[in-house]
Chains A and B, each alone.
Chain A
Amino acid sequence: MNPVDEPSGLRRRHVLRLGALAGAAAGLSGCGRGFGGRSDDDGRTALTMAWWGDAQRAGFTQQALDAFQAANPGLRVRTEYQDSSPYKDKLAARVAAGDAPDLMAMRFDSLREYADRGTLLDLAPHTADLDLSGLTPQATALGQAGDKIFGIPSGLNTIGFVVDKTLTDEYGVPVPDGDTWSWEQFGTFAAAVTKASGGKVYGANFELWTTANLLVFARQHGDDFFSPQGDLDVRAATVVAWFQLAEDLRARGAIPPAGFIDQNNGASPAQSYLAKKSIASQIIPTNNLLGYNQACGGNLQLLRIPGETHGARRGQSIDTPALWSIAAGSRHPQETLKLLNFLTNQAEPAKLCAATRGVPPNRVIAAQIAPTLEADNRRSSDFLAKLQDETLPPSYPYPVGASKLTNILKSISTEVEFTRTTPAEAGQQFLAQARKALTT
């Protein structure tokens, strides 16, 4: 062979081989992609379902799905779950990639982000397959945008103040009446716990950086926080009062000193300051009462948010920890509707889901299963049922951009906590940044 010819001959061969190798590499990597096939080998139609939560919720969910599959032999549900924060990020990427789960858990503050961009199925025309007659208008409104419905509450909840009765008894501090207590009484109570324990236990963990808490406070001051049109509807004076309240509570020793509570500690009851017995009370979503009570030794009392009978109007509302939404691009909308209808309107899954997802949105089912619930779930269920019979402000999905408020509020709250800004300045900052977040 002529040595001069060799390089060019080799080069072509090399290039061809490179191409083949690259192709093989692409093929191999291709195998690892995606979340598995859509149709099973056994001919059953496979639905995908994604949600957030922990292993306990996973167990209950799987039991409910087993019951669904037993009743519908032609269907199979592939489910996956994660912790709430990674779930939120992953869902955005999945939907963007055109790989949305057929049925997905949707955050109350993100529903409009997805719905307004056309990624969710409007459920309103499908009431023949998805029976919504058992839901109160207030419950349906939680997933409603105009006359369209983009989500069904997976359960109903609200926020409540839990007090560790074991600690308050130990230090001899009486727990105020939870239906009528004021913010002032709350402060006095919490400061008394701190004092009686000699600083070993602080009266409360006051999460001023949680939007849902501020929202209730704003309503008590006569504001909507979010208007039905989706604007920010809260006065500067209200937000300033919120930050001022926290500063006063800290000055009285009712809540721990700056830096004691790590905002980013995570939401697991077992890791909470309440479970560590370093605080005696805090606000929780009521559907988590069982989890918190187990983690705290079983003597938690559930109270309403302070100030409900003292403000311009009621602040608490009936909300949902998560909505169920169906992907607009679902290849099996009929089957997914069937699954959603099953979860919403059957007693068995409702009973299983009620354990961690809140009170079933279908009031008939809720009343039917109430006597069978565990004591803690029975308590949170009764707590909610009582509130449902009262006239409360309506609750509706947060506007587009609202999920950005979480980090804004966290950041400004920290500035107030470490007295790097005054409540008055913080209020103005929050309004300016929140308005910008909602409009851009």
Chain B
Amino acid sequence: MTALRARRQDNAGYLFLLPWFGGILFTVGPFLASLYLAFTDYDLLTPPRWAGLANFRAMLDDGRLHQSLQVTFTYTLVSVPLSLAVALGVAMLLDRGVRGLAIYRSIYYLPSLLGGSVAIVMLWRYIFGYQGIVNDFLAWFGIQGPGWNSDPRFALSTLILLHVWTFGAPMVIFLAGLRQIPAMYYEAAAMDGASPWRQFRSITLPLLSPIIFFNLVQSLIASFQTFTQGYVISNGTGGPAESTLFYNLYLYQKGFAEFDMGYASSMAWLLLIIIAGFTAINFLAARYWVFYDN
């Protein structure tokens, strides 16, 4: 009887894992193939030829690759802390027991679903174009603003803004984390006369640190892999003047537009190493600032 129930539970478990097994099947193959292709000269249309380390050597003096690394690092280092801060801030506001929380939560989550869609491109042009809303506003003060999307000095910042705007996913997780913090801590602190700032630093931050850590790792990985937003806003070019040439966008250009899939594969492995490195550093650093209640 119990054995039967246990087996049923097992079955249910496997059933839930089914999509993962399906996914793995289609990931492992390409994964191994790209490892092999990274060491070949492969133009997509004719069979790959072994090239040893030639692709990796070519990376050393590929100016566009260096530019794409710079763009991706700048983007990550600015947008990840910024969007996490906004996500946490909004989550704390919502946690105050606003009426209609479910509605607010949905509204703030919505941009996360829209981030890479074509509608956003239109919206962004409408807002940040040379003749867009922002410049219309600046014109009231007699200022002629630049083309925020078309000027290489500003194009990346509008993408960072887009990223910050899609703070919904970490916010929902923060909100769940905040709900887990027992109210009695705050009550006790308030009784001892602790200011809200003090409460935030001494109660919220430490107890929320595992959640912050989780969000940080997730956001960093996602940020290094940014593709869609850069692709749709720059129409796949990484322009103006390569100022939004994300690493993955360049990888895509190399593989599918310039028929250099061998090089693109080696780039993918370099990115894997970079992300693994950052994640490892994160886990090491976590020992010093992440606090587990139990």
Contact across chains for B258 and A266 when beta carbons are under 8 A apart: no
List B contacts of A404 (CB < 8 A). Answer: 257-258
Interface size class of B (residues with CB under 8 A): 35 or more
List A contacts of B26 (CB < 8 A). Answer: 29
Contacting residue for B129 out of A14, A262, A414, CB 8 A:
A262
B95: Cβ under 8 A from any A Cβ: no
> Min CB distance, A247 to chain B, in Å?
16
Given A85-B235, A89-B257, A262-B129, residue A29 in contact with residue B150 (CB < 8 A): no
Contacting residue for A262 out of B24, B25, B149, B256, CB 8 A:
B149
Distance, CA A88 to CA B257, complexed state (A):
7
Residue interface mask B61-78, A partner, CB < 8 A = 1: 000000000000000000
Contact across chains for B18 and A25 when beta carbons are under 8 A apart: yes
Distance, CA A343 to CA B115, complexed state (A):
41
Task: Output the nearest chain B residue to A408 by Cβ-Cβ distance.
Answer: B64
Q: How many pairs of A and B residues are in contact by the CB < 8 Å rule?
A: 117
Contacting residue for B125 out of A92, A260, A265, CB 8 A:
A265
B136: Cβ under 8 A from any A Cβ: no
List B contacts of A114 (CB < 8 A). Answer: 45
List A contacts of B11 (CB < 8 A). Answer: 17
Distance, CA A213 to CA B281, complexed state (A):
50
Interface residues of A in 96-139 (CB under 8 A from B): 96, 113-114, 117-119
List B contacts of A22 (CB < 8 A). Answer: 21-22, 24-25
- Stretch from B172-180, B213-221, B238-246, B272-280 at the A interface: B238-246
A420: Cβ under 8 A from any B Cβ: yes
List B contacts of A26 (CB < 8 A). Answer: 22, 25
Given A92-B257, A263-B150, A418-B152, residue A118 in contact with residue B235 (CB < 8 A): no
> Min CB distance, B37 to chain A, in Å?
11
Contact across chains for B236 and A85 when beta carbons are under 8 A apart: yes
> Min CB distance, B17 to chain A, in Å?
8
Task: Output the nearest chain A residue to B145 by Cβ-Cβ distance.
Answer: A259
B109: Cβ under 8 A from any A Cβ: no
B131: Cβ under 8 A from any A Cβ: yes
A392: Cβ under 8 A from any B Cβ: no
A237: Cβ under 8 A from any B Cβ: no
Contact across chains for B45 and A95 when beta carbons are under 8 A apart: yes
Given A25-B21, A262-B125, A418-B152, residue A113 in contact with residue B259 (CB < 8 A): yes
Interface size class of A (residues with CB under 8 A): 35 or more
Contact across chains for B44 and A411 when beta carbons are under 8 A apart: no
List B contacts of A118 (CB < 8 A). Answer: 45-46
Q: Which of A24, A261, A414, A420 has most chain B Cβ within 10 Å?
A: A414
Distance, CA A259 to CA B45, complexed state (A):
38
B166: Cβ under 8 A from any A Cβ: no
> Min CB distance, B99 to chain A, in Å?
42
A316: Cβ under 8 A from any B Cβ: no
> Min CB distance, A16 to chain B, in Å?
11
Task: Output the nearest chain A residue to B151 by Cβ-Cβ distance.
Answer: A259
Contacting residue for B240 out of A88, A260, A414, CB 8 A:
A414
List A contacts of B44 (CB < 8 A). Answer: 92-93, 95-96
Residue interface mask A315-339, B partner, CB < 8 A = 1: 0000000000000000000000000
Distance, CA A399 to CA B97, complexed state (A):
65
List A contacts of B46 (CB < 8 A). Answer: 117-118
Distance, CA A71 to CA B263, complexed state (A):
48
B237: Cβ under 8 A from any A Cβ: yes
Contact across chains for A258 and B10 when beta carbons are under 8 A apart: no
- Closest 9 interchain pairs by CB? A259-B147, A25-B22, A117-B45, A414-B241, A264-B235, A96-B44, A262-B150, A259-B151, A89-B256
- Other contacts beyond A22-B25, A418-B153: 4, CB < 8 A: A14-B10, A18-B21, A117-B43, A261-B150
